[in-house]
Structure 1
Amino acid sequence: MRTGFPASGTQRFERATDTQQFGEELGKHLEAGDVVILDGPLGAGKTTFTQGIAKGMQVKGRVTSPTFVIAREHRSEVGGPGLIHMDAYRLLGEDPDADDADPIGALDSLDLDTDLDSAVVVAEWGGGLVEQIADAYLLVSIDRDSAVAEDPDSEARIFSWEWRNGA
């Protein structure tokens, strides 16, 4: 990742557009080989955040949830790295902790046209899997419950992020 984006932090975003703007800012700093793992419950804003990343990276195609296709590739419009947006939970099936689980083999089985080292990988539900493919990764945790506990009508999300060592 290019310098200029904080290596760790926490921010609260009141609206989906705020989440996308934060993702866009991050996307402008990501480089080929970067891995971003998104952790948060259903409806937390993982795909909304990834839409912002895609805009910041200037990649082609509409970014939608990868749940039913497992992974989508988005090529750069400006000669930069592509974006691989994946649903890591579905990649390994229902028991990613099973003795026979093979995260690297599962990623290889996707037969992606893009080499993972020449793209940015954004993995929803990637914890426990995707960090095995990278020396370092950005873990982004999304909390939607804290704001709702304070105000049941709140749409706010709290994002926390930090770079961690992987494989």
Structure 2
Amino acid sequence: MCPEERSRLIEDEVFLLADSGELPEVAYHASLWQLCGEPDGPRLRLTEAELRLLQDAALRRCQRIILRDLTPAFRDRRIWRGLRRCICNWRRYLAFCHRIERPPNQLFQTQTAAALTAYLTQELAELRSGMRQCSSVSCTDEELLDFAQQLGGLLPEGWEELTEQAALAE
């Protein structure tokens, strides 16, 4: 196989991973199968650099999913999955990093902490002003505290109001 064709195959998989849906790690393994294991596929032996390109694409997709669910503008749209799912996806991201022996991106962790604080701050302000009738926070106090601690972020004063409302709504 010529280098250009090989490069195109890898680029195609990176492109597919960029919009791979809710489980980027599954899509990553599907890409590996397609490129390396599929009997009718190219049966490549990936270099470390090629493997890293695929991993980077899957990790970027994980990051986009997490930040999507910390974006207040998406709360009332179909693409939004909620804070509980965001926490689940954060755990999946960390587990994937561990499995591929890559450290979690510290800049992304900082961005996630800031996004969580901003989300909760806006949620509180909108509830208190009457712009929202009920909290969109879909997790327990313990889950939220644990998430914030993992991120190294701060919870805004009064955050407990958000999880209290969520508990009452259940």
Aligning the two structures, in what range does the TM-score lie when normalised by the shorter sequence? Answer: under 0.3
TM-score (norm 2): 0.25
Q: Judging by fraction of residues, say which structure has more helix.
A: 2
Q: Judging by fraction of residues, say which structure has more strand.
A: 1
Greater relative contact order: 1 or 2 (C-alpha under 8 angstroms, separation 6 or more)?
1
Look at both structures and tell me which one has the larger radius of gyration over its CA atoms. Answer: 2
